[in-house]
Structure 1
Amino acid sequence: MLRVRWLGRTAYRDAHALQRALFARSSDDHLLLLEHPHVYTLGVRADRSNVLVDPASVGAEVVEVDRGGDVTYHGPGQLVGYPILTVPGVRGGGMADTAAYVHGVEQLVIDTLTALGLADVGRLREYPGVWVAPGSDRPRKIAAIGVRLSRGRSMHGFAINVAPDMGMFDHIVPCGISDKEVTSLAAEGIDVDMRTVVDTLVPLAVERWGHGPGSWERADVVWRERPEDLAPFSRGEAAPEAAAAETSVRLRGRLAEAGVTQAVSLRERKPEWMRAKVTPSPGYNRLRSTMRELDLVTVCEEAGCPNIYECWSDGTATFMINGERCTRACGFCLVDTRKPAPPDPDEPERVADAVARMGLDYAVVTTVARDDLDDGGAGQFAATIAAIRRRRPGTTIEVLISDCKGDPASLATIFDAGPDVLNHNVETVPRLQRVARPSASYARSLAVLSRAKDAGLTTKSGLVLGMGETTEEVHATLADLAAIGVDVVTAGQYLRPTAAHLPVARWWAPEELDDLAAVGRQLGLAHVEAAPLTRSSHHAKVAAAAAGLQVAPQRTG
């Protein structure tokens, strides 16, 4: 399959982590299309003196990358494409193979620009990339090409200047070429938006790199992005008290833009399979008493999990650290979004105390998002893991983490603490990311999971279904998770917490979820836990064992 993804605005470091994972672990071909925030990238033979200013002074970062070429610029208004392909006929990535592949990438860009109405576009001898008026006395570069070819697979790719801030090129010697101009479609009088460029390029890419009818698919994150979609803390601002009355208004607008028009009435009775049994037991009451005594928070209670009686009766709970207030406002989640208190330094020891008192062989620790903290709450995770290891060394530890804004150092803090399972949820399909969790990013979540896999951890992710996704979109998301090496995926039906949250678009029947699990296994996922009431931590111990972890046998009674 050729899997085409429009990922929207994506940090360079996240796109690179995702590329590396697809390059190393996937047998499918992929074409990632996106825009970057302002960044200057340096190829392996780049001359740093070609960066003429301090990048921070112009709102950019500089990154050294494993591709050819010198320094180039990426930023908003520029379409970046990363083909991760198995390249036919490549003997090992030598110069001849690389030149032939680069020629093909250039031709894709040339064909795209020609189709968009740009005349006199082609190659300039001795200079890679795509040029306007290459045979004139004033050739102008409109697209940069920089690739890596190794073991018959490709990474990196092309960058087409659609309508970027051309002043950003004045701060570098673009591609190390000091005597040639850089241009854009907008500067050449071609007024097109990014979506038109992508929609023009994709069929040409499928024709060039596809494998026949039915052998490719495409998934896009929603095209419209607005800063006000983000929670205030995600914007680096102080947050007012939650305004629930406004939430449903904003969500209705986002749903319409995502093409979701259907909704289950609040008055409609849930299907029989969605009714969890309320059966308090001595085990439930004992665990609840322990939580209250130690002043601990569980996501089971805060998120209104329907499995709370089953799990607590079995002596299993998901501890929620970093407090009980989240700095994001996801459209499906019940957790409190008011201003959080500082992390409690005693919290890790209290969690470890509860694990020891309950004799847990398998402990799950999750968190609220803490965009107000420099490390996103990563230090509290590391401290909690260490405390559990001291108190009960044999306990298997699963952590369900936020994305820590994609910060590699913060994520490494968690990875280096050595959890047995690293869980991070993508939550929904690309098209519904802005609707469900506007302060997060599909590409960033895939990058978090990719980095965790690189760190040698068993990885896990989850989907909440019934918010307007199609079956085909879920299959594509499962394929993405399998492609980066995720081991376990959970999938369960969304339940609307309040009228101010996202509506339920439809109910997934149990047999549909059975089919979904089968598709996931066919794609290469070690275990898919899919049922109407499945949540991220439901049957976590069983899922971990299915993924190959050595865990204590499941208790009975």
Structure 2
Amino acid sequence: MGRVAYQEALDLQRALADSVRAGRSPGHLLLLEHDPVYTYGAHAVAENFLVDPKLLIEGGALVIEADRGGDVTFHGPGQLVAYPILAVERFSSRRWVSVLEASVRRTLNEFGIDGVTEPEYPGVWVGGKKICAIGVRISGGVSTHGLALNVTTDLSRFDAIVPCGIEGRGVTSIKSELGERISMERIARSLAASFAAEIGGVGSSFEAAPWPRSDGNDTDEPGEADRQEITNWPDRRPRAADGTLRPDYVRAAARFDKGYRSVMSVVRAGELNTVCEEAKCPNIYECWADGTATFMILGDQCTRACGFCNVSTSRPGAVDWDEPDRVARAAAALGLSHVVVTSVARDDLSDGGAAAFAATIRAVKKSLAGGSVEVLIPDFKGDKKSLETVLAERPDVLNHNVETVPRLQRLVRPSASYARSLAVLARATGSGHGIETKSGIMLGLGEDESEVSSVISDLAAVGVSILTIGQYLQPTAAHLPVQRWWRPDEFDELADFARRAGIRAVESSPLVRSSYRAHTSHQRLERMNHPVELQIQAR
């Protein structure tokens, strides 16, 4: 999963563990790196911090109490962290730790390193130095937390603590033992296979998100291989990369009828932006003809440059605090009962634009008594406070798109991450506000069916209720090319899979976009949630 903030990974673990306990998913193995963080478990001793934690925080690290066993340890770039989230009733706690130790030893042996265990101290050791720390939590028969294997870790970070509370013992890494750097992805693949072998797993699969470099020079920009693809994109044409022409089923008819003109008039009069126009949505004619639109707040200039999106990238202007009221008036003028609001990414704002979302939700709810509000939000760079600002206004649906499979995340949306998006959805689902969560996937960027199925399973595991799946269309020659056209029957098969996985409302066809038939999907959920009440109202 690449680099993931510790708190995001923790929230994701909790959501996935709930899913495993409820029988919605068989289990997960999260493989990732963290930004610098010192964590301490239930048995930690304050004296094992050799440096005042305040100084560690001032130095750019986090210090967090973890709901696991063990003492204090360090996580950071160059360290492979594995979080198995599985039903482990058949294992005692000690036996489960032994499984993790054996998995690490198997991987180390593959690279010519002889790792050993010591009965007194959990973990894996090489030459008397710890190379892998282990700390687990088992609750309700399901495991969380796991192990941290030093690959190219900056070992000087451990000088600030007594690692795992064991005095007089040093730490080491794979790089230190071999005298050479092994890629994190190679180690991750090996550990996934080793773990599957130790627990007797069959048919195990491993999906890798691109791993950031662990030498302190990691960047949100695409890597050299990705950049080569970007600079060599062909001129735009209605073909996929394999030369196949754009099929008729991925074409939308233009309809400039009275309904379309009416929506355009209201949008222009309110000086509003819509994602329908800015993103070149193929459904604009159908939706506007039906009198619906998706409002895009916070301007028309985005602070991010995603490879699929037609919205312009530039420095945005100041926040227009009159805009929420104009959106509400436009929604009332159009007679909408379900209002969808999205935004550009505003990484220039301290809250990512959360306050503007909150103000818009309030204004729309005040204007439309009994109406429902759906928001399609950015990730707010993982900031929980910003997300809570939006959730506190209780939108009926909170949508955040994962967009694509883990392997393609860095190419498709280099400033975001798959793990962060799952964490956003998990936090929204678990907020206690009764908000339905929604996400979307584009097909045609080079993913395969098994990867898409895995994403759907992940979304179901974190409690997503509504899913949209559509064909990616290249907006201009400067954007990512279409790799292939998915057939309508393939979209139908994915919809069936999503419903079996537990996602209750699914829109899946070539021209589906995030807000397509949003009102219909919300109504479908309302009928499921309140069947008797709605029947009485219908009479």
Q: Would you say same fold, with TM above 0.5? A: yes
1:218 corresponds in structure 2 to 206
2:194 to 193, 204, 207: 204
Q: Which whole-Å deviations, capped at 9, do the CAs of 1:46-105 have from their partners, x for residues lacking one?
A: 234433142223321111211111111001111100000111425xxxxxx212211221
1:250 Cα deviation from its structure 2 partner: 3.0
2:442 corresponds in structure 1 to 464
Structure 2 counterparts to residues 61-460 of structure 1, below 5 A: 61-89=62-90, 97-119=92-114, 121-133=115-127, 139-189=128-178, 191=180, 192-212=182-202, 214=203, 216-223=204-211, 227-230=218-221, 250=227, 252=229, 264=240, 269-455=245-431, 456-460=434-438
1:210 Cα deviation from its structure 2 partner: 4.5
1: CA distance between counterparts of 2:81 and 2:314?
Answer: 37
1: CA distance between counterparts of 2:330 and 2:485?
Answer: 36
1:186 Cα deviation from its structure 2 partner: 2.0
Q: Which whole-Å deviations, capped at 9, do the CAs of 1:131-177 have from their partners, x for residues lacking one?
A: 223xxxxx211111000001110000000111100111111221122
The alignment partner of 1:491 has SS state of strand
Structure 2 counterparts to residues 521-536 of structure 1, below 5 A: 521-536=499-514
TM-score (norm 2): 0.90
1:34 to 32, 38, 42: 32
1: CA distance between counterparts of 2:245 and 2:39?
Answer: 55
Identity rate, percent = 50
The alignment partner of 1:219 has SS state of coil
2:9 corresponds in structure 1 to 15
Residue type at the aligned position of 2:449: T
1: CA distance between counterparts of 2:243 and 2:70?
Answer: 61
1:393 Cα deviation from its structure 2 partner: 2.7
1:397 Cα deviation from its structure 2 partner: 0.6
The alignment partner of 1:21 has SS state of helix
Residue type at the aligned position of 1:113: L
Provide the alpha-carbon RMSD of the alignment: 2.3
2: CA distance between counterparts of 1:459 and 1:351?
Answer: 22
Q: Which whole-Å deviations, capped at 9, do the CAs of 1:478-534 have from their partners, x for residues lacking one?
A: 111111111111011111111010011111111111111111112221122111110
1:196 Cα deviation from its structure 2 partner: 2.4
Contact 2:294 2:339 in 1 (8 A): yes
2: CA distance between counterparts of 1:351 and 1:227?
Answer: 40
2: CA distance between counterparts of 1:266 and 1:221?
Answer: 24
1: CA distance between counterparts of 2:178 and 2:446?
Answer: 39
2: CA distance between counterparts of 1:504 and 1:78?
Answer: 35
For these two proteins, the number of residue pairs brought into alignment is: 512
Q: Which runs of 5+ in 2 are unaligned?
A: 234-238
2: CA distance between counterparts of 1:9 and 1:409?
Answer: 21
2:236 corresponds in structure 1 to none
Contact 1:251 1:435 in 2 (8 A): no
1:211 Cα deviation from its structure 2 partner: 3.7
Contact 1:40 1:63 in 2 (8 A): yes
Q: Which whole-Å deviations, capped at 9, do the CAs of 1:456-495 have from their partners, x for residues lacking one?
A: 3211000111111111111111111111111111011111
1: CA distance between counterparts of 2:387 and 2:46?
Answer: 29
Change (3 A) 1:254 1:194: farther
The alignment partner of 1:397 has SS state of strand
2: CA distance between counterparts of 1:79 and 1:227?
Answer: 16
Q: Which whole-Å deviations, capped at 9, do the CAs of 1:189-227 have from their partners, x for residues lacking one?
A: 353332222232222111123443x3x222111246675
1:358 Cα deviation from its structure 2 partner: 1.7
Contact 2:240 2:481 in 1 (8 A): yes
Contact 2:226 2:411 in 1 (8 A): no
1:259 corresponds in structure 2 to none
Change (3 A) 1:391 1:248: farther
The alignment partner of 2:137 has SS state of strand
1:500 to 478, 492, 497: 478
Q: Which runs of 5+ in 1 are unaligned?
A: 1-6, 91-96, 134-138, 232-246, 257-262
Contact 2:331 2:339 in 1 (8 A): yes
2: CA distance between counterparts of 1:147 and 1:370?
Answer: 38
2: CA distance between counterparts of 1:40 and 1:254?
Answer: 41
1:260 corresponds in structure 2 to none
1:268 Cα deviation from its structure 2 partner: 6.6
**In the alignment, is residue 45 of structure 1 matched against residue 43 of structure 2?**
yes
